[in-house]
Structure 1
Amino acid sequence: MNSLKEKGLINEAEQNAHQSGMTRRTLLTSLGVLFASSVVPFALAQKDPMSIVANHEVKFLELSQFLTGKQLDPILANRVLEALSKIDSSFPKKAKFLEKEIRWAQLHDVDAFKTSTLFEQPELKETALTIISAWYLGYAGTPVDQVATDNTVFITYTQALMYLPTQNALVIPSYMKWGTNYWVNPPKFG
């Protein structure tokens, strides 16, 4: 160390700090440990924001399954929730309120909901029908004919619930059941 001082490569303050055990590395390490020890307990005490989101999505899936009476795809449920929230920013609150009221009334299926006093409340009825409509039609919002833009948000085409009852007999519109140019040769009658 003295040879470095003699050559002018180290000043007296650095030499004293080095001899006392306090170096820049020690200082930075100490500050890092101090920071981490103060932040980590606070971070651990906070609720995981992803668990809150996931819980909200699970509740929406359960509400959707209650209203449609069907087992539904969780990924598609997230898309339905996003689409409905995009159209109406207060929709998550409305869905949460509907779910809470159904749970409080201890209703077990959508038929019980339709005959309950909850269905007579316009806001709850509208929220329920909005959710059901999005699942069956495959879009959220109201399409407007012959207008370039409207508030419609696409959700799904092939997984829209309106196609399920006829999927064994009919092809979803625009999906061809037969080969290319099937229409060229007319069918033989009689």
Structure 2
Amino acid sequence: MSMDRRSFLVSLALIPPALYWSSALWAAGSASDAFREVSRIITGADNLTPGAAARIEALLTERHAGFAAHLAALHKTLATSTSREAGLSALSGTDLDTALIIAKPWYLGYVGTPSGRILEDDAAFATFLEMQAYAKTGGIIPAQSYPPGPAGWWRDTPRGVDASDLPEGATTWAYQPLKHYTIAAPDPAWHAYAEGRFDSIEAARAALGQEARK
């Protein structure tokens, strides 16, 4: 079941905050201080580090026009709220959009949309250790990782594998060995079979062979 934007913010408001709501939280500071304070309210976590906050703020500022102004407005809105729950639950319009933009990288650990089907996407890493999707369940579920061996396992060639040198210029995962690709014409029988014109590849070959002899 999908969750709409307001329900998501309300659910965040129900997370027990790790900090007390007080005017001291809203002490004057830099833009990064404001971002970290707003992030603490949204996530309910009091242990967000300045480094992760700075990375996320920089990425969002780069990708969302007017983000600094929207952050300042959201900061002011939350500062005038009587409580964390009331502040998050009452957000609307641009304030709501900005809160969700800030929440996403804190919970997922990245901005943008990663893709496993293309070599380059618009995703950018933000944080792993402070990814709140794992931090909230850290005492029960370990953070997701898939190391196939101990530290440094990638240094040695696996047994039985003849690893040739990488081509010159292959310095990133986005490397493509060819500048231009030529797509070969499909086998007519397989093409016809894939289109559902025949029940089997044998029937397709037989039919096309008969047609070729006519």
Same fold (TM over 0.5): yes
Higher helix share: 1
> C-alpha offsets along residues 129-175 of structure 1, whole Å, 9 cap, x if unaligned?
11111111111123345233332221012321111133233332225
CA distance in 2: counterparts of 1:175 and 1:144, whole angstroms = 18
Measured after TM superposition, the shift of residue 176 of structure 1 is 5.4
* 1:149–1:91 distance in 2 versus 1, CA, 3 Å: farther
- Amino acid corresponding to residue 103 of structure 2 in structure 1: I
- Amino acid corresponding to residue 61 of structure 2 in structure 1: S
- In structure 1, the residue matched to 2:75 is 99
- In structure 2, the residue matched to 1:160 is 131
Measured after TM superposition, the shift of residue 101 of structure 1 is 2.2
CA distance in 2: counterparts of 1:106 and 1:76, whole angstroms = 26
**Residues 56 and 126 of structure 2 are in contact (CA less than 8 Å); yes or no, is this contact kept in structure 1?**
yes
- In structure 2, the residue matched to 1:151 is 122
- Amino acid corresponding to residue 81 of structure 1 in structure 2: E
CA distance in 1: counterparts of 2:138 and 2:71, whole angstroms = 30
CA distance in 1: counterparts of 2:95 and 2:110, whole angstroms = 20
CA distance in 2: counterparts of 1:165 and 1:135, whole angstroms = 12
CA distance in 1: counterparts of 2:61 and 2:123, whole angstroms = 12
Using the TM superposition, name which of 150-159 and 168-177 deviates more. 168-177
Q: What pairs with 1:104-119 in structure 2 (closer than 5 Å)?
A: 105-109=80-84, 111-116=85-90, 119=91
TM-score by length of 1: 0.56
Alignment of 1:170 with 2:141, yes or no, is yes
CA distance in 2: counterparts of 1:81 and 1:73, whole angstroms = 12
Structure 1 residue ranges without an equivalent (≥5): 1-53, 181-190
- Amino acid corresponding to residue 83 of structure 2 in structure 1: H
Of 55, 58, 61 in structure 1, the residue corresponding to residue 33 of structure 2 is 58
- Amino acid corresponding to residue 102 of structure 1 in structure 2: L
Identity of aligned residues (%): 27
> C-alpha offsets along residues 97-148 of structure 1, whole Å, 9 cap, x if unaligned?
1112222x33431x212332xx232x11111011111111111123345233
Alignment of 1:126 with 2:102, yes or no, is no
Greater Cα radius of gyration, structure 1 or 2: 1
**Residues 171 and 177 of structure 1 are in contact (CA less than 8 Å); yes or no, is this contact kept in structure 2?**
no
**Cα RMSD after superposing both structures:** 2.7
Alignment of 1:67 with 2:67, yes or no, is no
> C-alpha offsets along residues 11-46 of structure 1, whole Å, 9 cap, x if unaligned?
xxxxxxxxxxxxxxxxxxxxxxxxxxxxxxxxxxxx
**Residues 80 and 134 of structure 1 are in contact (CA less than 8 Å); yes or no, is this contact kept in structure 2?**
yes
- Amino acid corresponding to residue 86 of structure 2 in structure 1: A
* 1:115–1:168 distance in 2 versus 1, CA, 3 Å: closer
- In structure 1, the residue matched to 2:21 is none
Deviation beyond 6 Å, 4+ runs, structure 1: 177-180
- In structure 2, the residue matched to 1:90 is 66
**Residues 138 and 160 of structure 1 are in contact (CA less than 8 Å); yes or no, is this contact kept in structure 2?**
yes
